[in-house]
């Protein structure tokens, strides 16, 4: 039997990935993954297209999402897994995030315009090739960065983030802040599990410490380019707290070409724990 591997963190064209929901499931099958969770930013739209393809290919597709939240002026990503895709609170929450993104994009574009770098909203939609999932597409900062590269304002996406769009950039706008507490609450109401995404990326020690005392169910200990000692550290923290451990690549397609699907994954035991939870709350 080939080794069981499940990638629990990846993005499609429904948020800021460049691979469509159908393609990503086909890609997962072609590299021999047995399980997958698509965790688009603030959106579960990919599942409508991805679920039948996964069924056809025999891939176990676990519902997932990556919500943006703000805690003490710091952006914190929260992964939700195993919720019901029909859940009204979760769907309403995604809709509210969509509104937040629209308003935020407008505010960022206004700032860019003032700095002599006009980008129109339809140029964000053009920032990736059209495909069947395009109507579900939620533009964010990576699309703004790509449009800026295309228009010659910056040479690379990294430069766009460093100078203008990143948290320390001159055109950064955080957008309406969604709290961690509310996000966890919505995930739980929907029958899901709430996980701290890539905790190693949180710079402030005091924030990490506070997060560990919140109502999360687990943390993401396996991640692309995580050094083994970081993995060990987070596995140990999760075990001490009796928390679940998750992991995945955070694949974004061409937006992050150095990360491949399946480069970080969880084993069958971890996957089954989440899967069982999902089946009990489906
Ligand atoms: P948004 O959800 O619109 O705030 O965009 C966040 C996404 O932007 C992240 O998930 C990353 O994919 C991308 N991102 C954030 N910082 C950078 C950076 N410095 N360089 C490239 N991409 C970034
Ligand atoms: Zn992203
Ligand atoms: Fe993230
Ligand atoms: Fe992500």
Crossing angle of helices 180-189 and 88-114, in 10° steps, is: 150
As beta bridge partners, residue 6 has 35, 266
Residue 136 clears pLDDT 70, i.e. is over it: no
Q: Cα dihedral sign for 42, 48, 49, 52?
A: positive
Task: Using pLDDT thresholds of 50, 70 and 90, give the confidence band for residue 139.
Answer: confident
Task: Put residue 195 in one of left, alpha, beta given phi > 0 → left and psi -120 to 50 → alpha.
Answer: beta
Query: pLDDT tens, 163-216?
Result: 999 989 999 998 889 999 999 999 999 999 999 999 999 999 999 999 999 999
Ligand whose nearest atom lies closest to the CA of 64: 4
Pocket-testing residue among 66, 140, 168, ligand 1, by greatest number of atoms within 8 A of Cβ: 140
Ligand 1, atom 2: closest residue by C-alpha: 140
C-alpha–C-alpha distance, residues 60 and 5, integer Å? 11
198 CA → ligand 3 middle, Å: 7
**pTM for the full model?**
0.92
C-alpha–C-alpha distance, residues 112 and 119, integer Å? 8
CB 185 within 8 A of CB 226: no
- Classify residue 240 as exposed, middle or buried by CB count within 10 Å of its CB (0-12, 13-18, 19+): exposed
Taken as a whole, the chain contains a residue count of: 282
């Amino acid at each position: 039997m080939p080794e069981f591997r499940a990638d629990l963190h990846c993005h499609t064209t429904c948020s800021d990935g460049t691979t469509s929901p159908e393609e990503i499931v086909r890609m997962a099958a072609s590299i021999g993954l047995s399980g997958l969770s698509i965790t688009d930013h603030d959106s579960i739209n990919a599942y409508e297209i991805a679920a039948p393809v996964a069924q056809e290919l025999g891939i176990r597709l676990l519902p997932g999402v990556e919500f943006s939240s703000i805690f003490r002026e710091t952006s914190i990503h929260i992964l939700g897994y195993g919720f019901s895709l029909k859940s009204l609170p979760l769907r309403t929450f995604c809709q509210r995030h969509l509104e937040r993104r629209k308003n935020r994009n407008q505010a960022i574009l206004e700032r860019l315009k003032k700095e002599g770098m006009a980008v129109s909203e339809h140029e964000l939609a053009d920032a990736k090739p059209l495909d069947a999932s395009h109507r579900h597409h939620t533009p964010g900062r990576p699309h703004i960065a790509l449009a800026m590269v295309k228009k010659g304002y910056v040479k690379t996406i990294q430069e766009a983030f460093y100078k203008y769009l990143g948290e320390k950039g001159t055109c950064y706008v955080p957008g309406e802040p969604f709290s961690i507490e509310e996000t966890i609450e919505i995930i739980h109401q929907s029958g899901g599990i709430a996980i701290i995404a890539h905790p190693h990326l949180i710079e402030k020690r005091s924030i990490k410490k506070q997060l560990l005392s919140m109502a999360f169910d687990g943390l993401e200990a396996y991640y692309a380019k995580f050094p083994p000692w970081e993995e060990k550290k987070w596995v140990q923290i999760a075990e001490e707290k009796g928390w679940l451990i998750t992991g995945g690549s955070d694949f974004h397609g061409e937006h992050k070409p150095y990360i491949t699907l399946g480069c970080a994954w969880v084993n069958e035991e971890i996957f089954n724990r989440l899967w069982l939870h999902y089946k009990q709350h489906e």
